[in-house]
Amino acid sequence: MRCKQCGEGARDETLRYCENCGAKMPPPPPPGTIRRTNTGVSAMATTGRSRSTVAARAVVPAPDEAEDTDPGLHSPGRSKAPPYDGPVWLAHVPGHSPSVAGMGLLGVALVLSILPFFAGVGPFWSLVVVSGGWLVAARELRDAGERNPLVDWVPVSLMRPVVPALFVVVVAALALRMLGLGVTPLLWLGGAALLGYDQYRKVYVGQNGWSRLFEPRALLRGLGPVALGGVALCLLSLFLTWVPMATARSSGPVPEAPPELHVVDAPTPSEDFIYGLIEESYDKGWDQSFSVAMELLLLGVLGLMALRPEVPGPHWLRFAPIGVVVLGLVWTLVHGGLLLGPVLFLVGLAATGFAAVYGAFAREA
């Protein structure tokens, strides 16, 4: 077996590199193969070289990718990832994604809501957050080139940009519903902020982003501020009381009993200070049924009003804000009373409805 570079024959066929020039030797032929030896001028010339030159020359193997000792480095579907040089707080986050970090905060908030003294969003919206977070995590890990058996089975059809866009809106609505003092409100705000910041750069900004469909500045022109203020007033009213408090029974004689026997109002558990700290009140607007759904519909009205005029859509879509206002009116009459919260909600609905009707017929004209 001879070297392809200098023609020097190898005395030991197990050597991988030439003793004369250091070049890589060809692999030895399989056993039983008839080998031909070249005897001639080249062989005589190489044997006449000075052994001192060979001894003085350092045999340094040339770097070859085929000599990597890691058997999986060049396996199909695997590439060596460059070293991470991003923010330190994302170094150990899967995919180095702020969205995954935000979903981690939301996961902690959902786990804490199982305990009786932590507020939560309810079983339905918890399931929505878990399902949507799973899809967003799969999209983030796929974009980062990382594989995880927990999300690799998610089909590509469920990783479209509309999924993280809608998920951010839902999380922002739930974070607004959870506003208050405590640990879980901070976790919801932190998770929503990280998701919004990351997905704004990835989904909204760019030539193919959603900025080509929506123009938020349209809400600051014409009757846009009226609708914006009306929706804000509706959401603010949900933090106020919507259900009248139950009146306590007054002291008086017990019917069909001696006149000296009177009713004494016993203290209710809510009057106890320690119990009152952990008791959740159910008289606010947020505590009514379908309050989060009503919030999402009102935010959808703002989204439709911010839609660019050149974006194609069905004819009935321009009248959808009017339908939302009608649903809000029915919802208020069912769940509210003659209190400040429902009254402010109706005022906000009136402003939003006026802007919706004007915008629908203006586009029709």
Q: How far apart are CA 308 and CA 69, in angstroms?
A: 58
- The pair of three-digit structure tokens given for residue 199, joined into one six-digit string: 């997905």
Q: How far apart are CA 97 and CA 361, in angstroms?
A: 44
pLDDT tens readout for residues 195-231: 999 998 888 886 677 778 888 888 888 888 999 999 9
pLDDT of residue 318: 83
pLDDT tens readout for residues 122-137: 899 999 999 999 999 8
Residues comprising the chain, all counted: 365
Average pLDDT, integer, range 154-164 = 84
Residue 160 has pLDDT above 90, yes or no: no
Q: How far apart are CA 354 and CA 333, in angstroms?
A: 19
Inter-residue contact 135 to 163 (CB < 8 Å): yes
**Higher per-residue pLDDT: 278 or 243:** 243
pLDDT tens readout for residues 161-172: 889 999 999 999
pLDDT of residue 79: 47
In sequence order, which residues have a C-beta less than 8 Å from that of residue 167 and are 6 or more positions away? 132, 133, 135, 136, 195
Range in 9-18, 93-102, 183-192 the model is least confident about: 9-18
- The pair of three-digit structure tokens given for residue 69, joined into one six-digit string: 């000792």
CA-based torsion, 320, 325, 330, 332: positive or negative: positive
CB atoms within 10 A of CB 112: 16
**Statement: the pTM of the whole predicted model exceeds 0.85:** no
Inter-residue contact 329 to 297 (CB < 8 Å): no
